[in-house]
Structure 1
Amino acid sequence: MNVQCQQYLPTKLRKMFLSTCSLGMSALFVAGSAHGNDFSPANHIGGDWGGPRAHLSNGGFNYKVGYFSQTAHNFSGGENNTTANAAQIFLGAYFDLEKLVGWPGADFTVEITNRNGELINNKAELPFLLQSQQIFGRGNVTRLTQFSLNQRLFKDHLRFKVGRIFPSSDFFAQSCAFQHLTFCSGGSSNFISSNWYGDPLSALGGQVTFTPDKRWHFKVGAYDANPQNADTSQGLRLSTSGGESGTLLVSEVEYQAKFANGLDGNYRIGIARSSIDKNNVINSAGLPSGLTSDITEIEDTDNAWFLNFEQQITRNAWGGGLRMFASLINPDDQVSQIGSVAALGGFYVGPFKSRPNDRVGLAVGRNSVSSRITSAQERFNALEGVESIDVQSDEYPIELNYNFVITPAIEVMPSIQYIVSPNGVNDEEDAVILGLQFSLNF
């Protein structure tokens, strides 16, 4: 994805994966299944495929194939009213090595993702800080999303994984029940650091989780921060060639709360640090970097912190209820053009007894340009004596949706988004976007 919010704010937003819509196919030849107990024919179009799938699962091998798409039409905002569709095909294979070869506590994962389609913000020339279709991004290309060995030790008190992995599978994770990127941690987490390569990207790395009990989880991870990871030429490669050498370090504390009546919660707080050199967002003259010929300093690290939570608030008689969430990302304002990403919302599962699996969701967000950039833009206009560039501050996305569960394997979600001050510009026309999301699990 190659998007520019402004001439001086090249917002390359992309990314996403939402769905639990899944993977695999590549190993129809193997037998077995990691996570074999998770297999249920009702959750897949085609069910048990005539019998062998459950047998493979029980033997130590699972595969998944998923298709996920998001269509958007802007009724207001942007230079023209148009429609765009973005989609993802997700393939995966999961091997329970204990069942297959007698390796206790080990499993191996292979995931491949193909992204394709268009982004409404680009097609309608609708400026934005975070995009309206979270599934779009990282280029229309097929990528190796995961190729990892996972090991559980000491009765699952210690777990680690190594290989080609992505940080958002272990850190800053929450449900993604919306179409706008602000409300999906898999994509919004990319703004923790420009070297945070979330799915469909991945990087060579390792991650360790220590769990003293079932509620507390202490995590650390280290990932290759090579900017070439984002290049579409990397595709299905196991290692990344060229580019700079550096490391993204992430640590997080997670607490899983268990209250009466099934009112569970998940609370996380974490920090991240990247060692790759980056340009300061402000040049030596105190103006936006790249806007004038003044020198821009290079920062050798960037640091960020983040937090998010989910909490089940109510339970209804048929197993659903209200679940609330909130998240906040605070990147390094020396190098990040996005100053913060905040989201607050909730979704209610089973709004009607006759529709126990449907879901209705409402969320509000605030995406902010770095205050240092805002001040620098104001300073530039003051020097020019006219408002020659837009001054950016906050963008406010709001989304309301309803997810129809046709079957456990087929879901359809219409939505409506209202974006206040797109791209953080107060004078920019507010946008109204109608969305339609499909999720198919084969």
Structure 2
Amino acid sequence: MPRVTRITPTLLLALASTTALADADLTTRSTLTGDWGGLRHQLEADGVKFSGDYSGETAYNAHGGLHRSARYSQNLKLGVQFDLSKLYGLDNGGKVQLTINDRRGNSASEDLVGNRLPIQENYGGLYTRLTELSYERTLFTPALNVKLGYMAMGNDLGGLDSGILCNFMNAGFCGHPLNMSGGSGWTNYPNARLGVRVKYDLSPAWQLRVAAFNVDPESNGNASRAWHLGPKHTTGTVVPVELVYKLQGELPGEYKLGYYYDSSDVKRIGSRDEVSGRGGHYLLVDQALWADEGSPGRSLHAFGQYSASSKAASPFTRWYGAGVVLYKPFEGRPKDTVALGYGRAVPNPRSREALEDAAYNAGQPFPDIDSAEQLIELSYGYQATPWLNLRPDMQYIIEPGAFSGQAIDNALVLGLQVKATF
């Protein structure tokens, strides 16, 4: 086991113990490590802002799937932002963001269930890496914001800005529809690429986002590329375009309509031929349905996701997701949440045909399995302190073998997600 895996819990305990001596009130501070005796606040006022967070996800397969057991994965992120306007007295100097990420652990999906949608959203890329080195500023007008450098596309596009989807532990919900990254050069955190992103405010409610990123599949999940900003082997450029509408008022909402195109030449599924270019589109919605006038902060939101990708080269062609999140479920718990979601990932028919042909050529029967992997997830977000969130979670996975062509029993997975802000 790598050394960093063994020392991480000790490091966290040491941080908590050290800061407890400096400031005994751990329950009310905004971060675990506090204000560092006033130094942190002063540094931020001067233009240097530090950030850090930890997430740990434990999942136990209680029924179905492949094996009865538990798996743990973790993510540690440390960052620093330099405000050049404050540091050097510049007019609109912009900001530089530096972020480092470390992931460790084991996958419940791979080891215990055998499904496609990752049960732990923080699993993958199990090494220390540079995840962002970018420069951002407004240009010509306050309505135009530009960011360029080494970063993940999914930080700014393809997800809901409200953060409603991170009330779930499964990566099918938390983040972005996975057929984007599965069937194109789209990269979600922590995979980063060289690129540029532009946001333009058309009005207070409407915004247009456009980006262009290098596509380098050989660097995905490659530990030897952890600190290389330049690509190893460029196959093309992926260009997303996103229109955002944010509804204001007593029942706010967020709506995103997007399209993306990857110019890379890739093999067509089920064929030796290549297809030139891959694309897809998506629709994301977060809409408040109810707000309690007598209890500020208590509200019920509904979300929806639809994404379709290239049939020629994407392992799954469509994703549907929908659900509800109740904020402030109890009067005495203003920061807690209850979340319930349903998702359906549809495999590419060409992928299914390739699996069936392989089974036939090997003289093996092909199981009678459903046409999609489905997910039902229920979670409760318990905000123990301003910096610590505990999320008990339950996932029911229907047809876990839909993508692999295996007959696997539906699985019931019980989990716990822990998030701490440093």
TM surpasses 0.5: yes
Matched, 1:151 2:137: yes
- Give 1:224's aligned residue: 214
Alpha-carbon distance in structure 2 between the residues aligned to 1:385 and 1:232: 38
Q: CA RMSD in A?
A: 2.2
Matched-pair contact (CA < 8 Å) for 2:356–2:366: no
Is the alpha carbon distance of 1:226 and 1:386 closer, same or farther for their aligned partners in structure 2, counting shifts above 3 Å? closer
Matched, 1:312 2:292: no
Matched, 1:112 2:100: yes
**1:273 is aligned with what amino acid?**
Y
- Give 1:94's aligned residue: 81
Residue 192 of structure 1: how far off its partner (Å)? 6.0
Aligned residues: 386
Given candidates 197, 204, 213, the residue that maps to 2:194 is 204
My pick for the range that moved more, 431-440 or 179-188, is 179-188
Matched-pair contact (CA < 8 Å) for 1:328–1:343: yes
Alpha-carbon distance in structure 1 between the residues aligned to 2:411 and 2:281: 30
Alpha-carbon distance in structure 2 between the residues aligned to 1:149 and 1:103: 15
- Give 1:167's aligned residue: 153
Alpha-carbon distance in structure 2 between the residues aligned to 1:78 and 1:418: 10
Question: 1:121 is paired with a residue of what secondary structure?
Answer: helix
Question: 2:409 is paired with a residue of what secondary structure?
Answer: coil
Is the alpha carbon distance of 1:253 and 1:116 closer, same or farther for their aligned partners in structure 2, counting shifts above 3 Å? same
**1:297 is aligned with what amino acid?**
D
Alpha-carbon distance in structure 1 between the residues aligned to 2:138 and 2:364: 62
Question: 1:414 is paired with a residue of what secondary structure?
Answer: strand
Residue 432 of structure 1: how far off its partner (Å)? 0.3
- Give 2:412's aligned residue: 432
Q: How does 1:370-381 map to 2 (within 5 A)?
A: 370-375=348-353, 377=355
- Give 2:11's aligned residue: none
- Give 2:273's aligned residue: 297
Residue 204 of structure 1: how far off its partner (Å)? 0.4
**What per-residue deviation string (whole Å, max 9, x for no partner) do you get for residues 250-306 of structure 1?**
1111111112x2x211111111111222111122xxxxxxxxxxxx11112111111
Q: Which has the higher strand share?
A: 2
- Give 1:3's aligned residue: none
Is the alpha carbon distance of 1:187 and 1:309 closer, same or farther for their aligned partners in structure 2, counting shifts above 3 Å? closer
Matched, 1:243 2:219: no
Matched-pair contact (CA < 8 Å) for 1:413–1:438: yes
**Unaligned regions of 5+ residues in structure 2, if any?**
1-14, 16-27
Alpha-carbon distance in structure 2 between the residues aligned to 1:379 and 1:303: 27
**What per-residue deviation string (whole Å, max 9, x for no partner) do you get for residues 390-409 of structure 1?**
65620111000111101110
Is the alpha carbon distance of 1:382 and 1:118 closer, same or farther for their aligned partners in structure 2, counting shifts above 3 Å? closer
Matched-pair contact (CA < 8 Å) for 1:192–1:272: no
Question: 2:119 is paired with a residue of what secondary structure?
Answer: coil
Alpha-carbon distance in structure 1 between the residues aligned to 2:280 and 2:334: 40
- Give 2:338's aligned residue: 360
Is the alpha carbon distance of 1:277 and 1:173 closer, same or farther for their aligned partners in structure 2, counting shifts above 3 Å? same
Matched, 1:45 2:21: no
- Give 1:419's aligned residue: 397
Matched, 1:341 2:319: yes
**What per-residue deviation string (whole Å, max 9, x for no partner) do you get for residues 53-94 of structure 1?**
111112211111111111000011233211100100001111
Residue 355 of structure 1: how far off its partner (Å)? 0.8
Matched, 1:268 2:256: yes
Alpha-carbon distance in structure 2 between the residues aligned to 1:359 and 1:300: 44
**TM-score (norm. length: structure 1):** 0.82
Residue 426 of structure 1: how far off its partner (Å)? 8.8
**Unaligned regions of 5+ residues in structure 1, if any?**
1-24, 26-40, 284-295
Residue 144 of structure 1: how far off its partner (Å)? 1.2
**TM-score (norm. length: structure 2):** 0.86
My pick for the range that moved more, 194-203 or 86-95, is 194-203
Is the alpha carbon distance of 1:142 and 1:178 closer, same or farther for their aligned partners in structure 2, counting shifts above 3 Å? same
Residue 373 of structure 1: how far off its partner (Å)? 2.9
